[in-house]
Chains A and B, each alone.
Chain A
């Protein structure tokens, strides 16, 4: 998006917000956004699924009857049953256990890589928009370069360079996400930086640090929150894709991508394996997508609902 058009629309939006606050002084913007969000049934569904997934991942040992890595060769390729709700794989390992434990990997990778990328991207975006000059020029050109690679390919290339382990998966996904966060925050911060209340704060002698944190940053939160859900969804897909291609986590650590890849080789006898593994990825991504859509609508000051 062109930074100029972004600036324009943000200004317009914030004006709307101001009107809304005057019209409804009894409710804060946050309360308004929350009340809009809970009215969106699909977004609530996404939030519930996401919470359930996080609970399942944290309490994995309590929820599963079998170890995710325990092999039982007498029980290979068992179809789903009461014993094994999702069946067993080629080594007789319980698929439900493996998928629940793999959720830990996916969510950890997502939370850490998106957290770090969000933090770095926000700092880069805020400072480049506020200070401008050579720093902004450098940041903008660097972002142009990183945006010139298809995201999946960039992650694959970074994994090839760094070597295959879970830390590097997070680094690769983080590197791809950082410029996206930086761009989102920079575009919003550019619109805010030129506004009167920032000039007023400067005239009053507030430090740059204070202005950025207290005046510019809060205005960047809505797009930042939405971008976080998008980045998280992508991180889950990317982690699975890297593991699927044999470039992600190493065996025997269970990962949705690798369970799916292993399942692909045996799907003539055990079609449930790739089906359940993919379903786990899709449900996670779906919950993040609908939550993101809901947040986008709820945080949009132009919407009147």
Chain B
């Protein structure tokens, strides 16, 4: 097991290096640099050159990258061009908000997706199955930004049940916080719930057709035991990786959902910094989201290996 963990951690190092390189190069591709964004057009070339020297922008690209990457390793993501605050400070305060949103999103997706998938699989080809499957199909085809818009239209504008946008920290007013987070979380969860439902259904159906399930039924075990102790337990590992995958996927969804509902998390920070051409923040936030994505996927794979011995054994002889 330790060997497997070490192997996976080692594999993540070149990926993280590559991510930092991609983020760095993307920012280099933007026409104009930090200085022209900061000073605008009406500035003397001397002043601009002095600022470039100050930021180290007169150095060759590899040197700039090395400096930037070195600073990141020390936890220094630079300062926002807008507010002058450290980027790490800004991101830390906003990550809490996104963590709550993503957590609620996954919770809702699992609470709806998994049971519906199990029910649909156990009642395959009945009306219940068709309803759940069609619902999931619609959910998968519905873009999150439309779902969010419709929720606001119905629950805020028509029914006036929920405020359309805004954010209150949980510690200040828990009830208001949950009220404000409900629509964003549902929007975030919609697609994932549909996907989890479909995957749960098909994975469970696959296991239910296996020989050992037939054996279990054949030796007269009650259907409950067959389904939950034999079938569902074996389908659970792949289902959990699907859930983990969705948690990672939600990190992309937060950008859109936070924009719709004005939730001050890292997704909204990403967009704001892009609109404001606040490059240190753009780099920091894209890097952070990619890092979270990598860590989530790593944790999911490790959890799967803990539950399923076969995955660990496979890695003992990694092949090519």
A139 to chain B, nearest CB (A): 12
CA distance A162 to B271 in the complex (A): 15
Chain B residue with Cβ nearest A145: B18
Which secondary structure dominates where chain B touches chain A?
helix
Tally of A-B residue pairs with Cβ under 8 A?
132
- The yes or no answer to B171 lying at the interface (CB within 8 A) is no
Q: Give the nearest-CB partner of A7 in chain B.
A: B319
Contact A247 B274 (CB under 8 A): yes
Contact across chains for A240 and B141 when beta carbons are under 8 A apart: no
B19 contact set on A, CB distance < 8 A:
145, 148-149
- Residues from chain A with a CB closer than 8 A to the CB of B290 are 148-150, 153
Q: Are A157 and B157 in contact (CB under 8 A)?
A: no
Nearest chain A CB to B129 CB, angstrom units: 14
Interface residues of B in 270-301 (CB under 8 A from A): 270-271, 274-275, 282, 286, 289-290, 293-294
Q: A residues within 8 A CB of B30?
A: 160-161
- Inter-chain CA distance A158–B270, complex, in Å, is 13
- Cβ of B150 under 8 Å from chain A: yes
Is B143 in contact with chain A by the CB < 8 A criterion?
A: yes
What is the CA–CA distance of A143 and B256 in the complex, to the nearest angstrom? 25
> Are A150 and B293 in contact, CB atoms less than 8 angstroms apart?
yes
Chain A minimum-CB-distance residue to B28 = A161
Residue of B nearest to A162 (CB): B29
Inter-chain contacts of A145 with B (CB < 8 A): 15, 18-19, 21-22
Residues on A with C-beta less than 8 A from B140 are 289
Q: Which of A141, A241, A271 contacts B18 (CB 8 A)?
A: A141
Most chain B C-beta atoms within 10 Å of own C-beta, residue among A144, A260, A263: A144
Interface pair A267/B14, CB less than 8 Å apart: no
Whether B286 lies near A153 (C-beta < 8 A) is: yes
Q: Identify which of A132, A144, A278, A289 contacts B143 (C-beta below 8 A).
A: A278
Given contacts A244-B256, A267-B153, A278-B146, contact A4 B137 (CB under 8 A): no
Q: Check: B27 CB closer than 8 A to any chain A CB.
A: yes
User: Nearest-CB distance from A247 to chain B (Å)?
Assistant: 7
Q: Are A289 and B286 in touch, CB under 8 angstroms?
A: no
B145 touches A240 (CB 8 A): yes
Q: Interface SS of chain A: helix, strand, loop or mixed?
A: helix
Q: Is the CB of A153 within 8 A of B251?
A: yes
Q: Which of A264-305 contact B (CB under 8 A)?
A: 264, 267-268, 271, 274-275, 277-278, 281-282, 285-286, 289-290
The complex places the Cα of A158 from the Cα of B28 at a distance, in Å, of 11
Bound form: Cα–Cα A247–B274 in Å: 10
Which residues on the B side are within 8 Å of A157 (C-beta)?
23, 26, 274, 282, 286
A246 vs B259: C-alpha distance in the bound complex, in angstroms? 11
Considering the chains assembled together, what is the distance between the CA atoms of A151 and B274 in angstroms?
17
| B253 close to chain A: CB less than 8 A | yes
Say whether B253 contacts A152, CB under 8 Å. yes
With a CB–CB cut-off of 8 A, which chain B residues contact A3? 320
Chain A: residues with Cβ within 8 Å of the partner, total of: 47
Annotate B141-171 by CB proximity to A: 1 below 8 A, 0 otherwise. 1110110011011000100000000000000
Q: Which residues of B contact A187 (CB under 8 A)?
A: none
Are B249 and A282 in contact, with the CB atoms below 8 A?
A: no
For A156, the closest partner residue in chain B by CB is: B255
Interface residues of A in 52-71 (CB under 8 A from B): none
Q: Pick from A149, A160, A277, A289: contact of B141, CB below 8 A.
A: A289
A275 interface neighbour in B18, B150, B252, B274, Cβ under 8 Å:
B150
Shortest CB–CB separation between residue B245 and chain A, in angstroms?
A: 11
A144 and B138 within 8 A (CB): no
> Nearest B residue to A163 by beta-carbon distance?
B31
Counting CB contacts under 8 A, is B117 at the interface? no
Give the complex CA separation of A244 and B260 in angstroms: 10
Q: Is the CB of B141 within 8 A of A150?
A: no
The reply to whether the CB of B126 lies closer than 8 angstroms to some CB of chain A is no
Q: A149-B19, A150-B249, A286-B141 are in contact. Are A144 and B14 (CB under 8 A)?
A: yes
B191 to chain A: closest residue by CB: A237
Asked whether any CB of chain B lies closer than 8 Å to the CB of A221, the reply is no
A-B contact list, 17 entries, CB within 8 Å? A3-B320, A141-B14, A145-B15, A145-B21, A148-B293, A149-B289, A150-B293, A157-B26, A157-B274, A161-B29, A240-B143, A244-B145, A274-B150, A281-B146, A282-B143, A285-B143, A286-B141
Interface residues of B (CB under 8 A from A): 11, 14-16, 18-19, 21-23, 26-27, 29-31, 137-138, 140-143, 145-146, 149-150, 152-153, 157, 248-249, 251-253, 255-256, 259-260, 270-271, 274-275, 282, 286, 289-290, 293-294, 314, 319-320
Q: Can you add 15 more A-B contacts, CB < 8 Å, to A156-B270, A241-B143, A260-B149? A: A148-B16, A148-B18, A149-B286, A149-B289, A150-B293, A152-B252, A153-B270, A153-B290, A245-B256, A267-B149, A268-B157, A271-B153, A282-B146, A285-B142, A286-B138
Leading 10 A-B pairs by shortest Cβ distance: A150-B252, A145-B18, A278-B146, A286-B141, A152-B252, A161-B29, A160-B274, A161-B26, A285-B141, A144-B15
* Residue positions of A touching B, CB distance < 8 A: 2-4, 132, 141-142, 144-146, 148-153, 156-158, 160-163, 233, 237, 240-241, 244-247, 257, 260, 263-264, 267-268, 271, 274-275, 277-278, 281-282, 285-286, 289-290
